[in-house]
């Protein structure tokens, strides 16, 4: 006598998007807290001290860009999903954990990027931290797309494969930038920044299978 009624899923993709937007917005705004007000003596120049904070400004600007790009692409990705489930909600929370973590390596970079003895390590740690959201992003995608568990069933298989390859490549790229940084920190950082800037380009439009035509014989 039970279970006869169907109700809307308690955790819709819309809810997950709204929660994710909240985390994106907070993580992106918290980045400003890593820029520390310089402490000056009487004779010091405030302008000079503010100038020396350039690693903080770089960290703020690039962090804003990275999180902003993930936010835009997160909406693009979710426009491909039709369903959601409990585990998917938690997999997305895992992805958000890698986004919300970004202010920490950014602070480390800002603090140590100008100290010759620690610069290489700071850049390495920063680039390592950029691999994490790429990994978690792939987990979100694979959970949703394998066996078409959650995605729109009308999506063209070629398009799904295209995304799978493209997302896997982003892990490879950030890992390569990290590996390069182990021998040449600034080159590694430059590669990561350069590759990230490519995301200014819009993602490829979703491609759908032709709909089964209504007035048919056969299918």
Q: Which of residues 7-26 bind a second copy (CB under 8 A)?
A: 7-8, 10-11, 15, 18-19, 21-26
Helix (H, G, I), strand (E, B) or coil at 155: strand
Q: How many CA atoms lie within 13 A of 165 on its CB side?
A: 6
24: phi then psi, degrees, rounded to nearest 5: -55, -50
Percentage helix, strand, coil for the chain under 3-state DSSP, each rounded to 5: 70, 0, 30
- x/- letters, 142..171, toward a second copy (CB under 8 A): ------------x-x-xx------------
The footprint of a second copy on this chain (CB under 8 A) covers a number of residues equal to 85
Positions in 107-136 near a second copy (CB under 8 A): 107-108, 111-112, 117-118, 121-122, 124-125
Q: Kindly state the smallest distance separating residue 176's Cβ from a second copy, in Å.
A: 20
Q: Is residue 210 at the binding interface for a second copy, with CB under 8 A as the rule?
A: yes
Is residue 215 involved in binding a second copy (CB under 8 A)? Answer: no
CB burial of residue 11 (10 Å; 0-12, 13-18, 19+)? middle
CA neighbor of 95 nearest in space, from 68, 62, 70: 70
User: Of residues 87-106, which lie at the interface with a second copy (CB under 8 A)?
Assistant: 87, 89-90, 93-94, 96-97, 100-101, 103-104
Give the integer Cα–Cα distance in Å for 22 and 74: 13
Residues 41-70 interacting with a second copy (rule: CB under 8 A): 42-43, 45-47, 50, 60-61, 64-65, 68-69
Structure tokens at 6: 């169907």
Q: Is 198 in the site for a second copy (CB under 8 A)?
A: no
């Amino acid at each position: 006598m039970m279970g006869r009624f169907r109700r809307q899923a308690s955790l819709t993709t819309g809810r997950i998007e709204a929660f994710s937007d909240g985390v994106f917005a907070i993580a992106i705004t918290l980045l400003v807290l890593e820029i520390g007000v310089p402490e000056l003596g009487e004779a010091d120049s405030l302008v000079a001290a503010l100038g020396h904070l350039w690693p903080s400004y770089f960290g703020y600007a690039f962090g804003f860009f990275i999180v902003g790009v993930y936010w835009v692409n997160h909406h693009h990705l979710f426009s491909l999903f039709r369903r959601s489930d409990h585990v998917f909600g938690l997999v997305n929370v895992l992805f958000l954990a890698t986004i919300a973590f970004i202010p920490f390596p950014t602070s480390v970079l800002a603090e140590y990027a100008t100290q010759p003895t620690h610069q290489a390590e700071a850049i390495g740690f920063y680039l390592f931290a950029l691999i994490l959201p790429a990994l978690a992003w792939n987990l979100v995608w694979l959970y949703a797309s394998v066996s078409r568990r959650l995605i729109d069933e009308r999506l063209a298989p070629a398009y799904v494969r295209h995304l799978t390859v493209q997302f896997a490549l982003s892990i490879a790229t950030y890992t390569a930038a990290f590996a390069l940084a182990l021998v040449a920190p600034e080159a590694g950082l430059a590669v990561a920044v350069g590759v990230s800037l490519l995301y200014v380009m819009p993602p490829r439009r979703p491609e759908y299978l032709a709909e089964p035509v209504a007035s048919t014989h056969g299918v």
